[in-house]
Structure 1
Amino acid sequence: MLCYYAMSHNFLQLNADKTEVIVFGKKEDRRRITTALETKGLKAKDTVKNLGVFIDSELTFNSHMKAITKSALHHLKNIAKLRGLMSKQDLEKLVHAFISSRVDYCNGIFTGLPKKTIKQLQLIQNAAARVLTRTKRSDHITPVLRSLHWLPVSYRIYFKALLLVFKSLNGMGPNYLLDMFQLYAPTRFLRSLHKKLLVEPAVRTKCGEAAFSCYAVKLWNRLPEDIKNAPTVGSFKSRLKTKLFSVAFC
């Protein structure tokens, strides 16, 4: 009802036939709220699609991973057929356009997801690298990714999260992101005063630890000072990628 009122107040009309409802929270809370919604004639869904991302009520993103995998493998199959007709450079452009773009899309929301979930995206990147370089399945993929200068998926997620933090702290991000972060201010003069540390929020659940407001802060606090203090977005991205590349392939 609040949704209807808010839209009406802003001179908008809600199309009930195209509106989907999803409930987040603990299992018991979801069940209770879902039951209450049903009494109002509203049926909550387990998974909805918003801006191209499949979001489930437990925030596992499993449905989204399956959708990306299905789409990526379809495009990879077609790209593989072109290997004898195009140069490696042109093939790599196709890989970035049809594969990497899907793997990286909205990856800032994947912070804190379990390794087994991120592995699904990593397998896609590995398959793309093998198709591009004609590498056998039996060959180790890490040297191939290094030669292509491709950051592994988990580090690409770190990159996106840290870039969002940097932009927010430097007035280049939306206020709702900036409001998530608070600079650490020690009560005494300490070395940490100039390290641009952020206050890590207190959380009690795994879901809370995986939240962007918590996970991104922990990543930021681990960064060297020269990266945090980069004068421009370009220099920040360059220094950060160099750092992540050295860690990923050390």
Structure 2
Amino acid sequence: MITNAGVPQGSVLSATLFLLHINDLLLPGIYGYADDSTVVERYLPSTQASKELIRSEREAMVERTNDSLQAVSEWGEANLVGFNATKTQARLFTAKRSPFTLAPAFRNVSLECADRLQLLGVEISSDLNFGRFIESKAKIAARKLGVLAKVRQYFTPGQLLMLYKAQVRSCVEYCSHIWAGAAKCHLAALDSVEGRAKRLIGDPDLANSNLQSLQHRRRVASLSVFYRMHFGECAQELHELIPPSRFHHRTSRRTAGIHPYVVQTSTVRTKRFASSFIPRISRDWNNLPAAVFPSDYDLGVFKARVNRFLIN
């Protein structure tokens, strides 16, 4: 078989070769993961901006987006990579109520802004409300749990516990650091699935001793992601999102017990921003004791110590 373009499916080198091939596509404002690429543009008008200024800023943003999409198209033609414009999604994230009538274009196809965007398995709405996404995950987990219930007589409680952790709980924890700040009424649907799982396992002592609450696990996971971002074990763009550390020029009772990695927390004006990842986890991060931080970067040690601290 002769491959004129692309990589053979199933080869152990295919993924690496593909990433090397598209590496020069990832220009500023273009982000990629495997074969998914995303173009990001934004504008930041003042709260007192007029309608005319807002429209001008939006037109400029769409123009920059079109330039980036044109660069992607030209790169594809030069490197024998075909992009399907009909499968390309566009989404505007804004708190403004004024209608957005503009649309970027990719390969002569107008990309109308959709209500929701599917990005790497996460559904993102324009108002960053993850309620619908969480409910869909709860339904999928409930169906998986239903299948497990039908065959429960063939497994021991310990085996049911392992199957729940591998097949069901992993489903309701995907990218939890992104949506963990959602409303409690939505997160309660996930807790309901976990309650059913404990009853299905049939051994309360085994289940309670081996299953930490989903809320606890989300906090540990979020702090672990923040730890990686704080110490730069991630993309540079993510590392730069971490607020700078605060400097205390004098010692006082209030600052004596603060760990050296405290970050600056910004004033939040909206509930939506307060529940997003950086502001929400910054508060948890600053409240950690210095003892949970290893002397050198070690994610495993940090995660274990945070887990014990939050349990206690």
User: Which TM bucket (shorter chain)?
Assistant: 0.7 to 0.9
State the secondary structure of the residue aligned to 2:167: helix
User: How far does residue 19 in structure 1 lie from its aligned partner after superposition?
Assistant: 0.9
User: How far does residue 192 in structure 1 lie from its aligned partner after superposition?
Assistant: 6.1
Q: Distance in 2 between matches of 1:10 and 1:218?
A: 43
Give the counterpart letter for 1:155 in structure 2: H
**Contact 1:37–1:43 (Cα < 8 Å) also in 2:** yes
* Aligned equivalent of 2:210: 149
State the secondary structure of the residue aligned to 1:238: helix
* Aligned equivalent of 1:65: 134
Q: Distance in 1 between matches of 2:258 and 2:135?
A: 45
Q: Which has the larger radius of gyration?
A: 2
Residue from 229, 238, 246 that aligns with 1:177? 238
Within the alignment, does 1:167 sit opposite 2:232 as a pair? no
User: How far does residue 105 in structure 1 lie from its aligned partner after superposition?
Assistant: 0.7
* Aligned equivalent of 2:85: 16
Equivalent residue runs for 1:172-211 within 5 Å: 172-181=233-242, 182-188=244-250, 191=256, 194-211=259-276
Q: Over residues 125-160 of structure 1, what are the superposed CA-to-partner deviations in whole Å (9 max), with x where a residue is unaligned?
A: 22222211267xxxxxxx886x23322222222111
**Contact 2:157–2:203 (Cα < 8 Å) also in 1:** no
Equivalent residue runs for 1:27-42 within 5 Å: 27-29=96-98, 32-33=99-100, 35-37=101-103, 41-42=110-111
**Contact 1:21–1:43 (Cα < 8 Å) also in 2:** yes
* Aligned equivalent of 1:4: 69
**Contact 1:169–1:178 (Cα < 8 Å) also in 2:** yes
Q: Which has the higher helix share?
A: 1
Distance 1:191 1:13, change over 3 A: farther
Give the counterpart letter for 1:165 in structure 2: F
Distance 1:224 1:5, change over 3 A: same
5+ residue gaps, structure 1? 136-142
Q: Distance in 2 between matches of 1:179 and 1:171?
A: 9
Q: Distance in 1 between matches of 2:258 and 2:152?
A: 54
Q: Distance in 2 between matches of 1:243 and 1:49?
A: 36
Within the alignment, does 1:214 sit opposite 2:309 as a pair? no
Distance 1:14 1:205, change over 3 A: farther
Distance 1:52 1:89, change over 3 A: same
Residue from 276, 279, 290 that aligns with 1:225? 290
* Aligned equivalent of 2:185: 116
The count of aligned residue pairs is 235
Q: Over residues 52-104 of structure 1, what are the superposed CA-to-partner deviations in whole Å (9 max), with x where a residue is unaligned?
A: 11221221112212221221111111101222111222212211122110111
State the secondary structure of the residue aligned to 2:94: coil
**Contact 1:184–1:193 (Cα < 8 Å) also in 2:** no
Q: Distance in 2 between matches of 1:197 and 1:156?
A: 22
User: How far does residue 225 in structure 1 lie from its aligned partner after superposition?
Assistant: 1.3
Q: Over residues 158-205 of structure 1, what are the superposed CA-to-partner deviations in whole Å (9 max), with x where a residue is unaligned?
A: 111100121223342332222122111223456367542111123322
5+ residue gaps, structure 2? 1-65
Q: Over residues 30-71 of structure 1, what are the superposed CA-to-partner deviations in whole Å (9 max), with x where a residue is unaligned?
A: xx22x2229994322112222111221221112212221221
| TM-score normalised by length of structure 2 | 0.67
Q: Distance in 2 between matches of 1:180 and 1:69?
A: 30
Distance 1:194 1:131, change over 3 A: closer
Q: Distance in 2 between matches of 1:17 and 1:120?
A: 34
